[in-house]
Amino acid sequence: MFLRRLAVAFPCSRRFLSSNSSHDLASAIMELNKEMESVFGEPPSNSLVSSESNNYTAPEPRCTAQKDGEIAIGLTHVGSTRKAQMVDVSFKGNSKRTAVASCKVILGKKVYDSVLANQIAKGDVSLVWQKSQG
C-alpha cells in the first residue's frame, strides 16, 4: 500500500527503489510484503479489516509547478545510478512548505499480542507511538 501511494507521489520515477531496471513496482511491493511478514508474522485475516479499507483507490498523479511553468520531473536527490546524492541548495531561497502524511498499520495477532504485552525487544512500542503524536 505504501509503495503504491509513493508511486503516485513520484509518477515519473517508479523504478527509483531498485537499481535493476527490469524490477517493476509490483515485484518490489511483493518483496517488501514478504519481508514484513518475516519480521512481523503472518498478515491479519481479512475479517479483522473492513472490505472498505482494502479498496484503496489512488488519486490521479500530479506534478507541481516549480516556477514560471517549469514542471518537476523525477527526483533531484537521486543520481543516474539511482543512488542518493547530495545536491547544492545554497541558491534556493527560503520557502514555506507543508507536508502531510498518514498511514494505517495492521499487525498480525502474534505481533499485536507482543506489543500489547510490551514484549518487543527494541522497547515500548506504544510509548514511542504516543510520543510521536506530539
Q: What percent of the chain has pLDDT over 70?
A: 55
Query: Which residue from 15, 18, 101, 5 is spatially nearest to 61, judged by alpha carbons?
Result: 5
Domain that holds residue 110: 105-134
User: Is the domain of 110 the same as that of 71?
Assistant: no
User: Is the domain of 19 the same as that of 71?
Assistant: yes
- The number of CA neighbours under 13 Å toward the Cβ of 78 is 15
pLDDT at site 45:
59
pLDDT at site 70:
53
And the C-alpha cell for 130? Answer: 504516543
In a domain, 32, yes or no: yes
**What is the band of 51 on the pLDDT scale with cuts at 50, 70, 90?**
very low
User: Is the domain of 113 the same as that of 50?
Assistant: no
User: Is the domain of 70 the same as that of 125?
Assistant: no
User: Is the domain of 120 the same as that of 71?
Assistant: no
Query: Which residue from 110, 106, 112 is spatially nearest to 125, judged by alpha carbons?
Result: 112
pLDDT at site 52:
47
In a domain, 90, yes or no: no
User: Is the domain of 48 the same as that of 112?
Assistant: no
Mean pLDDT of 94-115: 84
In a domain, 39, yes or no: yes
pLDDT at site 126:
80
User: Is the domain of 3 the same as that of 64?
Assistant: yes
Amino acid at 83: K
pLDDT at site 64:
53
Mean pLDDT of 77-105: 83
Paired with 71 in beta bridges are 65
Please tell me the total count of domains within the chain.
Answer: 2
Amino acid at 28: A
Mean pLDDT, the chain, integer: 68
pTM: 0.28
In a domain, 34, yes or no: yes
Whether the per-residue pLDDT at 103 is higher than 50: the answer is yes
- Residues 6+ away with beta carbon under 8 Å from 11: 61, 63
Q: What torsion, rounded to 10 degrees, do the Cα atoms 110, 116, 122, 124 define? A: 170
- The Cα 116–Cα 134 span in angstroms is 21
pLDDT at site 92:
80
pLDDT at site 49:
47
Residue with cell 510509548: 127
